[in-house]
Amino acid sequence: RHVADFQLSIASIIENSSGDCLAQDLHLQAQQLAERLKCDSVVSAISAGPGTVNFTINRELLAKTVLQQVWKDGSEYGVKSELFSTVPRQKAVVEFSSPNIAKKFHIGHLRSTIVGNFIANLKEALGHEVVRINYLGDWGMQFGLLGVGFQSFGNKEKLKSSPLQHLFEVYVQINKAEEDENTKKLAKDFFRKLEEHDKQALSIWQQFRDLSIEEYVRIYKRLGVHFDEYSGESFYQEKAQEVLNMLEDKGLLQKTVKGTGIVDLSEKKDLSTFSTVMRSDGTSLYITRQVNLAAAIDRMNKHSWDTMIYVTDKSQSNHFQHLFQILKLMGYDWAERCQHVSFGLVQGMKTRRGEVIFLEDVLNEVRSRMLQNMTSTKTTKETQDPVETAEKVGLAALIIQDFRGLLSSDYQFSWERALQSRGDTGVFLQYTHARLHSLEQMHGNAELTDVNVSCLQEPDAISVLQHLLRYDEVLYRSSQDLQPKHIVSYLLTLSHLAAVAHKTLPVKGSAPDVAQARLCLFHAARSVLANGMKLLGITPVTQM
């Protein structure tokens, strides 16, 4: 089956093709055009399809050009394409992950973490300057409760050795006691002390925050994720008051009968849509929206970014729409360059111990399940560090399962499906990468200098080359809509094509120049596979 390298749709170049052109007319025009076009040193064949003109590139030129390009550009292959030549280099702030200290790190936070990391990786690869921000839930009444709870149930050793787990336990215990009026009063007092910058209260809070971040950093590292800045709600408490004053000065702040502060967002100014920015008791206690407004304004002053992207689940879409609208009303035109990338909900992710409470639970679970799979398969060679390999392969499985569909769609999580070694999974990508890597190990590294490209004329070789040629288009699509699925399906197809070629085009036992040319082809496939995996946040393994 011959597939053309490029296709021209006749309908796209006819002036009056408003859909009233008959199919047979288009076909006739395609034939007439194909007959008038001449082949040259680049195009080796031209034919007409149903309403299309098909071009086949000189096979040797295709092989030579693709292999040279992949070889020369290395990890920048696809990124250096002229598709991106007109795209201005920008500064992007990406806010993602953003868990609440002492509360569960739920699956929504995990999605935000891997999606935000992908967006930041992609922007960085395309030459943009990226600031990765983790905006922690590190303030609010929960810290009043925590402060009191720690005095009753806290343990300094446990706080040092496993802060996230210990603070969560304390929080659960004190919440049980919260019904008690006295506890409520103590918690309010402690939080008031924090708001008044009481030294002792602040130092306890600071310890909770610092130790939590230290542990987050360690766990994110296992995920292959890092942040340039750990920000948080605590940074913007004073500034939130300034925002209210600004809203008041601009005449945007209205009070309801009950005394709640609102901003009218309706077109006709009839309060058909409005956003609450202040509670009726006048406290900055504590409307997230105010604080987010303050944070957005502060970031603009600090980073003067070109685009700011918030990555959270779709239940917060309304919140961000309001946020951007208020900023615009305040006269900040840059609000139009803010973007909310939202994602759907994941159902049914449980570990063997039950519900997911900590990110570490997920990482340990995926590692142990993968290890079990690896030890039970006959084909598994002894790897040098099976635990490390299991973790990387398991993470690939999680990420690919998550990225296969549109981000906005909900999906049912399944360990079985995610960890299958056959089919369209992260395990299959890792397996393909490891196989291609060991092929290179076995036969020595490919050298491009003396490759005889006339040895790469088999259909299975051509399929891989054609696919490699398309990589930049896929990167471009993902850069336009920030959806990882384009890259995922590209890499899965690449792996399937490489697997077929690996079977039908043996290196071992072939004539030297054939072996060398095939080795080069497999090297190029592995190189592009590795590039794409890294963008998605996956660390390619070299043995499995």
The pLDDT tens digits of the residues spanning 415-446 come to: 888 898 888 999 999 999 999 999 999 997 76
Q: What angle do CA 96, 98, 101 make, to 5 degrees?
A: 165
Between 287 and 306, whose confidence is greater? Answer: 306
The tens digit of pLDDT for each residue in 148-195 reads 999 989 999 999 999 999 999 999 999 887 678 888 899 999 999 998
Q: How many CB atoms lie within 10 A of CB 536?
A: 23
Q: Is the peptide bond before 286 cis (omega within 30 degrees of 0)?
A: yes
* Cα–Cα distance for residue pair 145/184, rounded to 1 Å: 8
The tens digit of pLDDT for each residue in 233-250 reads 999 988 888 898 999 999
So what's the pLDDT on residue 285? 44
Helix/strand/coil percentages in the chain, nearest 5 = 60, 15, 30
Token code pair at residue 469:
């040629």
72 is catalytic: no
The model's pTM is: 0.92
- Assign 381 a pLDDT band (cuts: 50, 70, 90): low
pLDDT at 403 over 60: yes
* Cα–Cα distance for residue pair 53/59, rounded to 1 Å: 18
Between 258 and 480, whose confidence is greater? Answer: 480
103 is catalytic: yes
Domains of the chain in start order, with CATH, are 6-57 (no CATH), 62-87+355-536 (1.10.730.10), 91-234+304-343 (3.40.50.620)
So what's the pLDDT on residue 214? 95
Q: What is the mean pLDDT of residues 14-19?
A: 62
Task: Specify the DSSP class assigned to residue 304.
Answer: -
- Is the distance from CB of 177 to CB of 168 less than 8 angstroms? no
Nearest to 306 by CA among 125, 93, 95: 93
pLDDT at 283 over 70: no
**Of 91, 103, 104, 534, which is the active-site residue?**
103
The tens digit of pLDDT for each residue in 509-534 reads 999 999 999 999 999 999 999 999 99
27 is catalytic: no
The tens digit of pLDDT for each residue in 186-212 reads 999 999 999 899 999 999 999 999 999
**Of 106, 322, 392, 486, which is the active-site residue?**
106
pLDDT at 496 over 90: yes
Q: How many CB atoms lie within 10 A of CB 202?
A: 14
Task: Specify the DSSP class assigned to residue 405.
Answer: S
